[in-house]
Amino acid sequence: MKKGIERAPHRSLFKAMGYTDEEIRRPLIGVANAKNEIIPGHIHLDKITEAVKAGIRMAGGTPVEFGAIGVCDGIAMGHLGMKYSLASRELIADSCEAMGMAHSFDGMVFIPNCDKIVPGMLMALARINVPSIVVSGGPMLSIKRNGKQLDLNSVFEAVGSFKAGTITEEEVCEYEDHACPGCGSCSGMFTANSMNCLTEVLGLGLPGNGTIPAVYAERIRLAKMAGMKVMELVEKDIKPSDILTYEAFENALVVDMALGCSTNSVLHLPAIASEAGVEINLDIINEFSSRVPNLCHLAPAGEHHIQDLYAAGGVQAVMKELTKKNLLHLNLMTVTGGTVEENIAKAKVTDYSVIKNIENPYSTTGGIAVLRGNIAPDGAVVKRSAVAQEMLVHKGPARVFDSEDEAIQAIYNGKIVKGDVIFIRYEGPKGGPGMREMLGPTSAIAGMGLDKDVALITDGRFSGASRGASIGHVSPEAMEGGPVAAVREGDIISIDIPNGKLNAEVSDEEIKRRMSEWEAPVPKITKGYLGRYAKLVSSASTGAILKN
């Protein structure tokens, strides 16, 4: 792109931007900055990016910054905007790929921080396959107010409590004003922080990437180190394909289960793996869930937040604890230039109330469970670690809604009672389209004090902040003629999370009869990006990737 007399026109364009001959001669490092002014996790990424660029220059490279889009899941929640959230993952991957491949960067640094931006950039990183590193913007702090640690979920649940008449509008405003105290990805083990932690485990982020709070100076130092480290990766020609092996994804699944990550990780890890030429499916995920102990109950599963995980030793300490039962591959290459074993050599748990001793876990099985049955033959997913003991096994009548909007109105209007099983369908990748997150309904149920009495099941998905018996990703989805479309009001639904079962107590013959009468509804959106996305997207059970 820049060497030889034939590339004089190319160099002249660099010089038009003020680049010197020395800068042009140095390795060019693409810096994908997701900074924007609509996502709290991104509002400060300009500072992270400047630190990365400083690190690149210190190590002899020339940083070249470009932008990337992002959707704020919280702001997009509960309306048309949420249909674009998961779908934006593919746009982020495609646009970063286009920038990376079109400009022949010698190396790349990706700076994400929030739900779809992290996996989107990881997908692009795998496709481009030049020496690369990821450094996130870090998690938001949780602050204590009136004796309770607050986060975004606190506000959603406060709305449910207000609708139930248990708190006042002034109290809701108190939550609103203090739950999100500053920049960073929302403070629990929600999707953004789950993926930032798993980036660290995959070996694509430096130790601390997932847990150092956004406002700490240590985050700036980490960004400078990432900038310097990418130059070492370029020099040694260590590419993502050297790091993203099947064993690296096994490590990610192990830590996913130990941390109790968001159910959205079950969408994103297979999608990233697919880009790396590795297959990760629900059967593999379930196998890890069955044998990896759950060591952390971070919000929404418990009161601890990411800052507490950081103070207790971080992701590396969790990994060190897991080695006591030989659950990790230790000889794998990472962006530090060292192996997993070398990275965690000095790690230790400093607070066993946050990271449980592996001999005394919260449970002997992982934080995520895959369920199957006659209404979910290809699988459904639940964050087992955030389900109340009373709801691990449950039977109740189906309350059927063909959109999230219908369901939340019924919840707010007091039409849901103890024992009910709420079904929200036609919200899958195709049916939504876009597989909306449904933090509104789950938070309303929790805020009304029904999370230990009512289950929610959907072919859509739930926020990483959701808690309770919230079962998502039902596959095949209703829009594709999955048997979930056969469920009718009043059918008795049997949920058995410990044994991985999800069934309607309806005969196979009756389900077949109902489906013989079924007709696919008219697609909700047929134009624009979502119209194209709906035609191309695959099942949630395969990561909702776009079909070739």
Q: Name the residue among 399, 373, 314 with its Cα closest to residue 496.
A: 373
**433, two tokens:** 């389209």
Compute CA distances 132 → 42, 207, 253, 506, whole Å: 20, 15, 22, 52
Q: List CB contacts of 202: < 8 A, sequence separation 6 or more.
A: 122, 243, 244, 248, 249, 251, 252, 272
What distance in Å separates the CA atoms of residue 73 and residue 83, rounded to the nearest whole number? 10
What distance in Å separates the CA atoms of residue 224 and residue 205, rounded to the nearest whole number? 13
Q: Are 439 and 463 in contact (CB under 8 A)?
A: yes
Q: List CB contacts of 336: < 8 A, sequence separation 6 or more.
A: 206, 207, 229, 342, 343
Please tell me whether the peptide bond between 270 and the residue prior to it is cis, using omega within 30 degrees of 0: no
Q: Name the residue among 477, 388, 487, 358 with its Cα closest to residue 427.
A: 477
What distance in Å separates the CA atoms of residue 100 and residue 98, rounded to the nearest whole number? 6
What distance in Å separates the CA atoms of residue 378 and residue 168, rounded to the nearest whole number? 43
Please tell me whether the peptide bond between 300 and the residue prior to it is cis, using omega within 30 degrees of 0: yes
What distance in Å separates the CA atoms of residue 385 and residue 258, rounded to the nearest whole number? 10
**527, two tokens:** 């134009």
Q: List CB contacts of 18: < 8 A, sequence separation 6 or more.
A: none
- Identity at 192, one-letter amino acid code: A
Sign of the CA dihedral running 448, 451, 454, 455: positive
What distance in Å separates the CA atoms of residue 531 and residue 479, rounded to the nearest whole number? 14
Task: Work out the end-to-end distance of the chain between its first and last CA atoms, rounded to an integer number of angstroms.
Answer: 30
Q: Is 136 marked active-site?
A: no
Q: Which of 154, 262, 289, 463 is catalytic?
A: 463
Give the strand pairing for 501-504 and 492-496. Answer: antiparallel
What distance in Å separates the CA atoms of residue 484 and residue 482, rounded to the nearest whole number? 5
Q: Name the residue among 281, 273, 207, 209 with its Cα closest to residue 244.
A: 273
Q: Are 434 and 83 in contact (CB under 8 A)?
A: yes
Q: Are 159 and 443 in contact (CB under 8 A)?
A: yes
Active site residues: 463
